[in-house]
Amino acid sequence: MSGTSDEDAIRDLVRTVEEGWNAGSGERFAAPFAEDSDYVIVYGTHAKGRAMIADGHQQIFDTIYAGSNNTFTVEDVRFFRPDVALAHVHHVLRFHQEAGAQEAEARSTWVLTKEDGRWSVAAFQNTAIVPFEGPPGRP
């Protein structure tokens, strides 16, 4: 189990990603991701590498999510080893479209690794939170 300082560092890293989103900066958003990170967006597209993550986010910050605000809340952090952790983060995205103000929720899973005393995001999976209307009794 890793210490509180590592959990605090991970929470700070999540806050840095949030601040990058809210600044509309793909570069700032992607800075905490590993150079070769894997990023699966909410619709299932797989982006590979920090540069692709930065470019893709800059595109949405300049278009559909221009002026948006995203609030990140770390739900939990679990350490598999002192240098490998898993975090679940809840997101509330507020944005404007032709229909007016919109809000969307998502939950992301972050795999983080620590190298040379610094945490980075090795893998990220984003999932929209939507009502499930499946068969009764099914999760």
Name the packing angle between helices 50-62 and 4-22 (round to 10°). 40
Would you write out the chain's pLDDT as a tens digit for each of its 139 residues? Answer: 455 799 999 999 999 999 999 999 999 999 999 999 999 999 899 999 999 999 999 999 999 999 999 999 999 999 999 999 999 999 999 999 887 888 999 999 999 999 999 999 999 999 999 887 777 766 6
Q: Which residues contact 100 (CB under 8 A, 6 or more apart)?
A: none
Domain boundaries, given as residue ranges, for the chain = 4-128
Give CATH for domain 4-128: 3.10.450.50
